Amino acid sequence: MSNIVTTSQCYECGHNMEGRVEDYRYLESGLRSVVLHNILIFRCAHCGAEVPQIVAASELHRHIAMLLLAKGTRLTGEEFRFLRKVVGYSATELAEQLGTSKAVVSRWETKAAFGKEAEQVFRMLCVLRLTMEVVKEMGSEDAAKAQECANRLRSATESAIASLKGLKVADNKKRPTPLKIQIDTESLLPGLISQTATAGCSIQ
């Protein structure tokens, strides 16, 4: 185990928590396949509380979303739900956009029972929302950089969708496998969103 780098008071019992820099499986994201490297984790030896210090959480979530949108195979139910939440769709709103019901969206998220056509439309809806956010946040400061990032995201997603279209019927019926993502959190600085498609992570 790494050396103690800092201490803090436990929010549960009031005793001291010891903070160490370690790797952390980011289950709070709703995804079981995301590992963050170099995370400061506080643990309380008295009550067992564990608190990871997540830096730039909104940028981190968009970073993960972009990687999932560029995935060349089908999304899992967990990945589908993560993307829906990151781009700000409620289950009801997404159902309306896709011409289906909230119950169907719920089934997609729990059983990954959606077809590749529905997934293609869903990915493009996510790209549209993320692109609008990127342009809105960066446009006033650096319009060219915002547009470059948006184009990169759109291109990666279109390539992934092309891969989905090429799936054989047998492959489409197989249960999707999660994308294994490892992120070095030292790169999670303001402005990470502009680097997402090319840096800061490794995909296995």
Residue 69 lies in a domain: yes
* One domain, residues 83 and 175: yes
Residue 134 lies in a domain: yes
* One domain, residues 38 and 82: no
Least Cα distance to 42 among 13, 16, 69, 64 occurs for 16
Q: Report the b/e string of 122-134 with b at 16+ CB within 10 A.
A: bbebbbebbbebb
Residue 29 lies in a domain: yes
Contacts of 153 (CB under 8 A, 6+ apart): 66, 69, 127, 130, 131, 134, 196, 197
Q: Which pLDDT belongs to residue 155?
A: 79
* One domain, residues 11 and 95: no
* One domain, residues 64 and 41: no
- CATH code of the domain covering residue 12: 2.20.25
Q: Which pLDDT belongs to residue 173?
A: 61
pTM higher than 0.85: no
Domain count, the chain: 2
Residue 128 lies in a domain: yes
Q: Which pLDDT belongs to residue 134?
A: 73
* One domain, residues 63 and 40: no
Q: Which pLDDT belongs to residue 159?
A: 77
Provide the residue range defining the domain that includes 101.
Answer: 57-180
Helix or strand (DSSP H, E) at 201: strand 201-203
Query: Distance between CA 17 and CA 42 in Å, rounded?
Result: 6
**Residues 38-71: tens digit of each pLDDT:** 889 999 999 999 999 887 888 899 889 989 988 8
* One domain, residues 33 and 112: no
Q: Which pLDDT belongs to residue 199?
A: 33
Rounded to 10°, the helix 116-138/77-87 angle is 30
* One domain, residues 63 and 43: no
Least Cα distance to 174 among 89, 74, 98, 24 occurs for 74
Q: Which pLDDT belongs to residue 130?
A: 84
* One domain, residues 73 and 130: yes
Q: Is the dihedral of CA 81, 84, 87, 92 positive or negative?
A: negative
* One domain, residues 47 and 71: no
* One domain, residues 99 and 165: yes
Residue 102 lies in a domain: yes
Q: Which pLDDT belongs to residue 187?
A: 65
Residue 78 lies in a domain: yes
pLDDT tens-digit profile, the chain (204 residues):
557 788 889 988 999 999 999 999 999 999 999 999 988 999 999 999 999 988 788 889 988 998 998 888 889 999 999 999 999 999 999 999 999 999 999 999 988 778 878 888 899 899 888 887 777 776 556 667 767 777 777 777 777 777 767 766 445 567 788 999 999 877 654 444 334 333 333 333
